[in-house]
Amino acid sequence: MRITMDNDQQLEDHMALISELYPGVYTQIVPPVKESKPRRRRKKNKGEGGAVGPRKRKLSEEQVNLLEQNFGSEHKLESERKDRLASELGLDPRQVAVWFQNRRARWKNKKLEEEYAKLKSMHDGTVIEKCRLESELLNMKDRLIESEKEIQRLLERADGPAASSNSPSSSMSMSMDANMDRRFPGEFAYEDAFYMQENVYNVYGLDWMNLFDSRQ
Amino acid sequence: MRITMDNDQQLEDHMALISELYPGVYTQIVPPVKESKPRRRRKKNKGEGGAVGPRKRKLSEEQVNLLEQNFGSEHKLESERKDRLASELGLDPRQVAVWFQNRRARWKNKKLEEEYAKLKSMHDGTVIEKCRLESELLNMKDRLIESEKEIQRLLERADGPAASSNSPSSSMSMSMDANMDRRFPGEFAYEDAFYMQENVYNVYGLDWMNLFDSRQ
DNA sequence: TCAGCGTCAGTAATGAACTAA
DNA sequence: ATTAGTTCATTACTGACGCTG
């Protein structure tokens, strides 16, 4: 039995008592990477907030720079550094903490992508190697069969003189039927090449996953 | 002043309290996994938010259910469906759109993780296969060498009677020096086993990446 | 046990740049 | 060019855990 709540949407109001100390710290119009480009107009407002004053929005470029720099030297954030940074940037310590938190999350995802790409190329390499080995092995097997046949011939030829087999290595000669499933004898038989197809993505590219097709 | 805000539901009230007291009401998307025991209070929203009115986090369970259901059948959202959903859920169409956007992003990340795990286990399998092939190949090579030696022995023994080699398969016998880099003759020599170590993560586990060590 | 702090995963919402119609 | 709809990157917040004193 749920606890009522159905129509929840907890409200907020009556919360306006607390601080409002940061009038215009945010919102530096930063034409960061690109300029020119027509400023896009957004529909603003949206029903809710009504008297929405100082929403969140955008740390300035230098703020981000400093934060980024700090993040680079250490992903963790001890409260000392946090407070120092906060006052240095004119931000709430809370914001600094949040920033680091989000940054870590972002970093993790990025790392994951990198790892994926790395693994993928490694895998591709391994698969190719494996194919090479397979065909080489086939080749070896054929050669071994030929060799064994040759031995048979020689033994038969030398039939009269000595019918007994006393060669030291003869003990290992015929145990190979088990793994002797040689297929056709063509050199470099790549019938296993389908391995290369298992999961063809672009790999090194930008969209090495077709992340927007399958549902669920 | 406030701009519209009509149709929405935000006029909820006193619900904020409930939401705090019964945090488990929402988010059944990820069933807690663990028994939550101690209920702890947190320091409440604090500053910054000041005049921020629209603090209406969390959609209700059924809202999420319906959204999720819709997302399951189709990740894209045409404005028709959007509007329908919006009114059905008592939400702003904008919110529905946002929800879908965020959902797509989340889905993408999840997919990436899945793909990584899949690829990883495939890779592990392939590496093992490759090792097997390598040792088998080594084994083959040794056998082949033995076999060739045997042939030599036989030929030498049959030295007196016929010194010429006329067997049909002799043409292929000695071209193997090239790829005959046999290492020590031990059976199943796994000196290549280091391949298994290339990138040892937990694979199927939860933390198959040590995502929180290296900086940068 | 309990309160406080830091961390994380999951969410909601915003803003910017891009893409078609 | 205007407009609506999208992705991407960000900012912020919530609830749950783990650790520590």
Q: Which long-range contacts (CB under 8 A, 24 or more apart) does A202-209 make?
A: A203/A117, A203/A120, A203/A121, A203/A124, A204/A117, A204/A121, A208/A116, A208/A117, A208/A120, A209/B111, A209/B112, A209/B115
Residue B122: which pLDDT band, with cuts at 50, 70 and 90?
very high
Q: How far apart are CA A150 and CA B146, in angstroms?
A: 13
User: Is pLDDT at B208 greater than 60 in this prediction?
Assistant: no
Q: Which residues of A touch B137 (CB under 8 A)?
A: 133, 136-137, 140
- Residue B84 CA, chain-centre distance (Å), reads 35
Residue A158: which pLDDT band, with cuts at 50, 70 and 90?
confident
The reply to whether B132 has its C-beta less than 7 Å from any atom of strand D is no
Residue type at A1 in one-letter notation: M
Q: How far is the CA of A30 from the C1' of C5 (A)?
A: 34
**What is the reported pLDDT for B216?**
45
Residue nearest to nucleotide D16 (CA to C1'): B36
The reply to whether B32 has its C-beta less than 7 Å from any atom of strand D is yes
> Distances from the Cα of B172 to the Cαs of A87, A150, B28, B141, in angstroms?
81, 11, 69, 15
For chain D, which bases have at least one atom within 7 A of a protein Cβ? 2-18
**What is the reported pLDDT for A80?**
87
Q: What is the pLDDT of residues B12-30, one digit of tens each?
A: 333 333 333 333 333 333 3
**Residue whose pair of structure tokens reads 């069969």 in the numeric block:** A145
* Candidate ranges A38-52, B42-56, B125-139, B173-187; pick with highest mean pLDDT: B125-139
Is 0.75 topped by the overall pTM?
no
**Interface test with chain B among A150, A199, A202, A214, by most B beta carbons within 10 Å:** A150
Angle, to 10 degrees, between the axis of helix B61-73 and the axis of helix B93-157?
50
Task: Please give the residue that has the higher pLDDT: either A28 or A135.
Answer: A135
With H, G, I as helix, E, B as strand and everything else as coil, classify residue B65.
helix
Residue A159: which pLDDT band, with cuts at 50, 70 and 90?
low
Q: How far apart are CA A50 and CA A205, in angstroms?
A: 44
Q: What is the pLDDT of residues A63-109, one digit of tens each?
A: 999 999 899 888 888 888 899 899 988 888 999 999 999 999 999 99
Q: How far apart are CA B46 and CA A191, in angstroms?
A: 66
Residue B80: which pLDDT band, with cuts at 50, 70 and 90?
confident
> Once rounded to an integer, what is the mean pLDDT over residues A1-13?
31
Q: What is the total residue count of chain B?
A: 216
Residue A56: which pLDDT band, with cuts at 50, 70 and 90?
low
User: Is pLDDT at A129 greater than 60 in this prediction?
Assistant: yes
The reply to whether B31 has its C-beta less than 7 Å from any atom of strand C is no
**C-beta atoms of A144 and B144 within 8 A:** yes
User: Is pLDDT at A6 greater than 60 in this prediction?
Assistant: no
User: Is pLDDT at B201 greater than 70 in this prediction?
Assistant: no
User: Is pLDDT at A142 greater than 90 in this prediction?
Assistant: yes
Q: Which member of B60, B148, B151 has the closest CB to residue A8?
A: B60
Phi-psi region of A14 (alpha: psi -120 to 50; beta: other; left: phi over 0): left
**What is the reported pLDDT for B146?**
92
Measured from the Cβ of residue A129, the count of other Cβ atoms closer than 10 Å reads: 16
- Residue A184 CA, chain-centre distance (Å), reads 39
Q: Which residues of A touch B92 (CB under 8 A)?
A: 46-48
Q: What percent of chain A has pLDDT over 70?
A: 47
